[in-house]
Amino acid sequence: MFFLIFGIRSSKVKSKELKGNTVCSKCNSVESFNVQGSASYFYLFWIPLIPLRKSVEFICRKCGQHHYKETAPRNVISNYESEPLKRPKWHFLGLGLIATYFITLNAYGFFKIAKDIKSQKEYEVKIYEENKEFYNDLALVTADPSMKNDTISKQIKASIDFTPYSINQNDVSYFSKQNSNKLLVLLNIEKGQKIDDVNRILLIK
């Protein structure tokens, strides 16, 4: 059996009396028009997806004369357009579902990004707390250590010549820290092409 899962359908729009100063061109009765209509929609899997054309008809209650929007008297049209018939809300069901889907998708993406940012910040705080002493030492790095605040770095700076590597001594920051039998030495080389060679010569020194 074949089922048509998409297509175009129409449904009636609730009729009502047309308010305002209207005159029937046939019987000259005043405020005697009812307006009724239908609205079509494109459906997919029996769900209204896209609202389409809406047609209306004006009927005189006195003489029964019918007018479509294209042929109705101007006073009838102007009164109708001030308060037109509204199509059923369920005609927008498909659009509502699509909008809900994208809003949910965007909300999920937003909260996921926010969660990832929060996790990253928590991770950075954790790493900082675990290595607080190291980061505090790193903040003290200077290009010009003195014998008073960092004797080891001062001696390293005096003993290593960076000239063969096209590096100015002023472009190298030093910091050292001794704890029991452990020695931490930090060198930050800002410029230079042969960093690997520099690392090797420093290892030898």
Residue 1 clears pLDDT 80, i.e. is over it = no
Distance CA 7, CA 51 (A): 12
Please tell me the number of Cα atoms within 13 Å of 176 on its side-chain side: 17
Q: What is the pTM of this model?
A: 0.47
Please name which of 164, 162, 205, 163 lies closest in space to residue 185, comparing C-alpha atoms. 205
Distance CA 204, CA 198 (A): 10
pLDDT in tens, 98-157: 888 899 989 888 999 989 999 999 998 888 888 887 788 778 888 889 888 888 889 888
Residue 204 clears pLDDT 50, i.e. is over it = no
Maximal CA-CA distance, the chain: 115
pLDDT in tens, 34-92: 898 888 888 888 888 888 888 898 988 888 888 888 878 888 888 888 888 888 888 88
Is residue 46 within a helix (H) or strand (E), and if so which, with residue range? none
